[in-house]
Structure 1
Amino acid sequence: MTLLIVGATGTLGRQITRHALDQGLKVKCFVRYPKKASFLKEWGADLAVGNLTKPETIEAALEGVTEIIDAATTRATDTLRIREVDWQGQVSLIQAAEKANIKRFIFFSIFNAEKYPNVPLMDIKHCTEKFLAQTSLNYTILRPCGFFQNLIAEYAIPILENQTIWVGGESSPIAYMNTQDIAKFAVRALTLEQAERESFAIAGVKAWLPADILRQCERLSGRTARTARMPLGLLRFSRKVALGFEWGWSFAERMAYAEVLASGIPFTAEMDRTCELFGIDKDELTTLESYLQEYFGRILRKLKELDYKEPKVKTTF
């Protein structure tokens, strides 16, 4: 088996790479910038330089590959639009995989993507699912609800740096999961017959509201969060403004997804059957409480070692 991981430098992709290597798999990573991906090579993976928007580089990367895990997506900071990577690039990858007779293709979509045709990222993910289903590929589709890791930049760091945390709309409870745990499902799917040409929701053990996450962060950091509410109307207005500028296209398209997360509709799924099928003990999945406790414990120890003192707030009269 030679596994190609697409999106290997991302939040999820790097955990998939690490877990696949730990399982003794031969891994090749499809990357745009080899210098930024040097850590993957240090781990033991081979690098294939290319770009999903350049089909010829995909074909070259697939030489000798038997399986693919596709965790690629555009980032909010990318200049490329979602359609260029998450649709056109994905179609090129899937077509190349079918032509190369890839034995297994694992694709990462988004939970409930089919329910939001007006949200670019979710609609494109759903369209990609349908396109994949029309091929002869032996695929598995995984649909995560959200990642623990994204909560660090959204909640933990702002609290530590005394920055304002924006909370929008009614806020949907979301069953986030550690990307290290999601990686186990992805690698297990490579050899699981029951997962062939099937789709699975991937959810954490509990759905969390922003207020609950904030309380956890406050308790573990010993600090009080500064919060402000982002009205849904203002969020939509900001998205329309961003669409007026080329540099804001990708950002605006992802803000439409933020509106979904501010709708109040729960993002969670029952995982008992999925965990049993994949042979993963549900009780061993990381809880958000333990994840945040480990993070804050590590950071606060480091700050103590550095004898860090919070800057005093100047008061003007």
Structure 2
Amino acid sequence: MSLLVVGATGTLGRQVVRRALDEGYSVRCLVRSYKRAAFLKEWGAELVRGNLCEPETLPPALEGVTAIIDAATARATDSLSIRDVDWEGKVALIQAAKAANVDRYIFFSILDADRYPQVPLMEIKRCTELFLAESGLNYTILKLAGFMQGLIGQYAIPILENQSVWITGQSAPIAYMNTQDIAKFAVQALKVPETEDKTFPVVGDRPWSSEEIIKLCERLSGQRAKITRIPLGLLRAVRRLTRFFQWGWNVSDRLAFAEVLATGKPLTSSMEGVYEVFGLDPDETTSLESYLQEYFSRILKKLKELDYDSDRAKKQPKRRNPF
């Protein structure tokens, strides 16, 4: 099976590429920059230049491809908007996939997207789900909640560096999942006929609030967190302000996610039956505790080694300069 991964340089996309290669798939990656994606080529993937917002570049990239795993999304710092990438770009990709007779299309959406039409990215994801379902392609939609990888920059690093951890006044618990485990579901879907033309939640074992994650980080790091709470009203005001400027549109659209937090409703779903359909073992899925424990163990060990090397250097007798 020849697999095209879209969004391959992203946090999730690179894990999909890694997993697919490890399982013996022939992997092609649609990339905008060969330089930025060089590491994927080193892993063994084929790189093909293309852009979702340039539909004419898609048919050549799809030649000989039998399946697509679509992990692309607009970044907050992109010059392209969420509408450009996550709607118009995806519509073009789905249409090109249909024309190329692609057998399978795996799409990542957001859990509960249909409940928040006021949040641009979630509404676009919902519309894309409908468009994909009506396209005639054999699809699988995986609905995600949050990535564990994002918690490192949001909580772990600020606590280690004695910086403020910024959280909202209200915090809806989120069922975070390791992107390596999400990639496992995506690649496995290609092998399981029972996943065709169906939608599944793919989330962690339980939802975690910001306060719970902070307490866990404090325990694992042995340090106290400096917490700064941001009123939701302030986030809404910043969102309105950034909306005035084109360069701030993506930031504004991302800030709209605060409306999800404002509800206080956990962003989670039951995984009962999902593991069975995919033929995966839930005991092999990374828990949030073990993920953060591994991170802090590695970092604290490295910090101790650096301190040891620094102390040893100070104790070395200075050599006299004969000149």
Determine the C-alpha separation between the residues in 2 that align with 1:189 and 1:221. 37
Determine the C-alpha separation between the residues in 2 that align with 1:169 and 1:87. 32
Q: CA deviation at 1:167?
A: 1.1
Q: CA deviation at 1:240?
A: 0.4
Give runs of aligned pairs for residues 216-255 of structure 1, distance below 5 A. 216-255=216-255
Determine the C-alpha separation between the residues in 2 that align with 1:257 and 1:22. 35
Partner of 1:124: 124
Q: CA deviation at 1:24?
A: 0.6
Determine the C-alpha separation between the residues in 2 that align with 1:18 and 1:254. 28
The number of equivalent residue pairs is 309
Q: Does 1:95 align with 2:90?
A: no
Determine the C-alpha separation between the residues in 2 that align with 1:241 and 1:162. 30
Q: Does 1:164 align with 2:164?
A: yes
Partner of 1:207: 207
Partner of 2:142: 142
Tell me, yes or no, if the aligned pair for 1:168 and 1:229 is still in contact at 8 Å.
yes
Q: Does 1:293 align with 2:320?
A: no
* Structure label with greater radius of gyration: 2
Tell me, yes or no, if the aligned pair for 1:5 and 1:71 is still in contact at 8 Å.
yes
Determine the C-alpha separation between the residues in 1 that align with 2:132 and 2:281. 29
Determine the C-alpha separation between the residues in 1 that align with 2:68 and 2:260. 30
Q: Structure 2: any 5+ residue segments left out of the alignment? A: 311-323
Partner of 2:186: 186
The 3-state SS of whatever aligns with 2:300 is: helix
Which letter maps to 1:166? Answer: W
Tell me, yes or no, if the aligned pair for 1:272 and 1:282 is still in contact at 8 Å.
no
Q: Which runs of 4+ in 1 moved over 4 A?
A: none
Determine the C-alpha separation between the residues in 2 that align with 1:37 and 1:299. 27
Q: CA deviation at 1:80?
A: 1.2
Q: CA deviation at 1:36?
A: 0.9
Segment drifting more, 161-170 vs 280-289: 161-170
TM-score by length of 2: 0.94
Identical residues among aligned pairs (%): 62
Partner of 1:5: 5
Which letter maps to 1:27? Answer: V
Tell me, yes or no, if the aligned pair for 2:232 and 2:258 is still in contact at 8 Å.
no
Partner of 2:317: none
Tell me, yes or no, if the aligned pair for 1:98 and 1:136 is still in contact at 8 Å.
yes
- Cα RMSD of the aligned pairs, angstroms, is 1.1
Partner of 2:315: none
Determine the C-alpha separation between the residues in 2 that align with 1:235 and 1:259. 10
TM-score by length of 1: 0.95
Q: CA deviation at 1:78?
A: 1.0
The 3-state SS of whatever aligns with 2:273 is: helix
Tell me, yes or no, if the aligned pair for 1:170 and 1:262 is still in contact at 8 Å.
yes
Q: CA deviation at 1:160?
A: 1.4
Partner of 2:72: 72
Partner of 1:28: 28
Q: Structure 1: any 5+ residue segments left out of the alignment? A: 310-317
Q: CA deviation at 1:307?
A: 1.4
Partner of 1:53: 53
